[in-house]
Structure 1
Amino acid sequence: MFKSENLKNLSLITLGAMIYAIAINYFLIPTKLGEGGVTGLTTIAYYTLNVPPYLTNLFLNGLLLLIGYKFLNRQTIIRSIWAIVWLSIFLRIPVFYTYQISETIIPTLAGGFLTGVAMGLILNAGGSIAGSTILGRIFNKYFGMKIGSATLFFDLVVAIPSVFIIGFQNMLLTVLELYISAHLTNVFLARFGSKKSINIISDQTDLIAEKLSTELHQGVTLIKATGYYSKTARPIIYLICTSKQLAEIIPLIREIDAQALIVVDNIRSVRAEELDRLL
C-alpha cells in the first residue's frame, strides 16, 4: 500500500512537472512573459544571456533546496528533488511547435491555468518545484499562510522588477498570470480531503441511524442534545461523507422523516498522520 501510494505521488509530480514545462516553453517564453521566483529568474537569464532554462532551474533550485532542508521534512525534500529533475528534463525537450499570436492575453491565461494546475498536482503529492514554493511551504508551516498566497508574494518580488527586461505591459500580464496560477493552486489544494459533514435532528433518530449503518454502511455518531425550549432530549446524528454518498443519504432520510432537520457543511479532513497536507 505504501509503495503504491508513493508511486502514485511520484507519477503526479512528474505529470505536474511536464505541464509546468509546457506552460513555460509554449506560452510564457514565446511571448516574452516573465514568471515568479526561480522560474522568473530562469526566463530573465534566457532573455538576457540566452542561458537554457533547465540549467538555471537546476542550479538555483539546488541552492534553495539546501535552505529548505533545514525547515522541511525529508520526504518533501526528496519529492522536490524529483520534481526539479523532471522539470529540467522537460524544459530541455525542444519545442515542437511555435506559434504567432497578437493577443498576449491568451498565453497569459493559458500559462496561469497550466502552472496553477501543475503546482496543485505537485504540492498535493507532497513535493514542490523548490524556488518560491519552498519559501511558501516554510511560511505555510510556521505562519499558517496558504501556500499559493505565500508563493505569490515571493513570485512578485521577482516578477515586478522584471519590468526592466520584458517591458511594462508584459510585466502586468506576468502579474496576472501569477495571480491566476496562485488562485488555482489554492483551489486545487483546498479540494484535498474535502468532504461533507451532516447533522441530522429527527424524531426518528434510531431508525435513521440504523438505516444509514446497515444499508449504506455509513459510520454515524450520536451526540447527546437537549432542546432549550422543549427541554426534550433528542440525540443529533453526526456523520462525515463524500458528495457521492450525500446523494444517497438525503433521499434515505427524507423517506424516513420528511420533517427532519438536516445541516450540511463543507469540511476538509484527513487522518492525523496526513494533517500537514491540510495546512
Structure 2
Amino acid sequence: MKRRNKKLGMGVKITMNIIGGFIAAYGLESVLIPNSVSDGGVTGLSIVGSQIFGLPLGILIAVLNIPFIYLGYKQIGKSFAILSVVGIASLAIGTVFMHHVPTIIGGDAFLVTVVGGIILGFGMGISLRNGGALDGIDMLAVLLSRKLPFGTSDLILFLNTFVFIVVGTVFGLKGAVLSAIAYFIASKVIHIVEEGLSGSKTFKIITTNPEVMVETIRDRLGRSATLIKAQGAYSKETFHEITCVVNRLEERKMKEIIQEIDPNSFITIYDVIEVKGGNFTKRDIH
C-alpha cells in the first residue's frame, strides 16, 4: 500500500512538472519573447543564444541545463533530477509547439512584462512545489556559496546580473531592464505558488505574565503555545518565553493580545516556510 501511494505521489509530481513546464513555455513564447523581453538564468541565456545563432530555443534550454541537472542529482538527489528532467523537457518541447502561438498581449511594455512574469513564475512555481526545477542557475549558486564567502541569494543576484548584461546585447538596454523586472515578478509569483498566500508566523514572546498570555492566546485564537524559562544575561532576572505559530490572518490579533496583556514584553517574529506535525491544528474558539 505504501509503495503504491509512493508511485501515485511520484506520478502526480511528474504530471505537475509537465504542466508547469508547458505553462512557463506559454509565458515565454506567447508574451515575453515576441515583445523582446527575456528571462533570467539558463532560460535567459538560451533565449539570447537562440536569437544570435538561430537555433531552436527548446534545444538550447535542454542542452544548457544538462550540467545543472547533474549538479542537482549530486547535491539533492535522484528524484529531484528526474522531476527536473521532466520539467525542463516539457519547457523545451513546449517552446517548440508554442513558437507560432499568437501573442496574447502587446503594445504596453510594462503590461507585457507583468503578465509574462506572472505566467512564467506560475509555471516555475508549480514545478518547484512538486519537487523539480525548470532552471539550473539556482543550483549553481548553491554550489558556489559553499566555496565562496557569499550567500546563495547574493550569488543568484550576481549570476543574473551577468545574464541581463548578455540579454542587453541582444534586446538592448530597455529589453534588459524589462527582462530584469519580469524575472523579479516571476520570482515573487514562484514564492507565492510554493508557499501559498496564507503562510505562517512564529511569535517568540518574553514576558513576566506567561500564564495569562497563554490562556488568552488559547481562548481568542484557538492556538496552543510552548512555554520555557529564560534568564536575562545581565540582569539575571527570570522570564518566560512563549513560542506560538499562527497564520498571517491572525498576526494582527496576536499583536493586540500581547499589547493588552504585557505591553513591555519583548517580541520577535519570524516568517515560517512550512508547518508540519505537532498540535498546529487550530481549535474552534466559538
TM-score for the superposition, normalised by structure 2: 0.69
1:227 shift after superposition: 8.2
1:80 aligns with 2:97: no
Contact kept in structure 2, 1:35 and 1:155, CA below 8 Å: no
**Which residue pairs with 2:261 in the alignment?**
259
**Which residue pairs with 2:281 in the alignment?**
none
Change (3 A) 1:188 1:96: closer
1:25 shift after superposition: 0.6
Secondary structure (helix, strand or coil) at the match of 1:223 reads strand
1:80 shift after superposition: 1.3
Secondary structure (helix, strand or coil) at the match of 2:271 reads strand
User: For 2:237 and 2:102, how far apart are their aligned partners in 1?
Assistant: 72
**Which residue pairs with 1:66 in the alignment?**
70
Contact kept in structure 1, 2:72 and 2:80, CA below 8 Å: no
The AA in structure 2 aligned to 1:123 is L
Change (3 A) 1:22 1:235: same
1:30 shift after superposition: 0.7
1:110 aligns with 2:112: no
**Which residue pairs with 1:167 in the alignment?**
172
User: For 1:212 and 1:175, how far apart are their aligned partners in 2?
Assistant: 44
Contact kept in structure 2, 1:72 and 1:138, CA below 8 Å: no
Matching residue within 157, 160, 164 for 2:162? 157
Contact kept in structure 2, 1:221 and 1:237, CA below 8 Å: yes
Deviates more, 1:32-41 or 1:258-267: 258-267
Contact kept in structure 2, 1:57 and 1:88, CA below 8 Å: yes
Deviations 1:223-265 (A, max 9, x none): 22468999985534332232345577678x58xx943346361
1:184 shift after superposition: 5.3
1:101 aligns with 2:106: yes
User: For 2:196 and 2:105, how far apart are their aligned partners in 1?
Assistant: 36
Deviates more, 1:221-230 or 1:33-42: 221-230
Matching residue within 25, 32, 47 for 1:43? 47
**Which residue pairs with 1:235 in the alignment?**
240
% same residue: 22
1:125 shift after superposition: 3.7
Contact kept in structure 2, 1:128 and 1:134, CA below 8 Å: no
The AA in structure 1 aligned to 2:262 is A
User: For 1:230 and 1:169, how far apart are their aligned partners in 2?
Assistant: 58
1:195 shift after superposition: 2.1
1:137 shift after superposition: 3.7
Alignment gaps of 5+ in structure 2: 277-286
Alignment gaps of 5+ in structure 1: 273-279
Deviates more, 1:210-219 or 1:258-267: 210-219
Superposed CA RMSD in Å reads 4.2
1:84 shift after superposition: 0.8
TM-score for the superposition, normalised by structure 1: 0.71
Contact kept in structure 2, 1:197 and 1:267, CA below 8 Å: no
The AA in structure 1 aligned to 2:201 is K
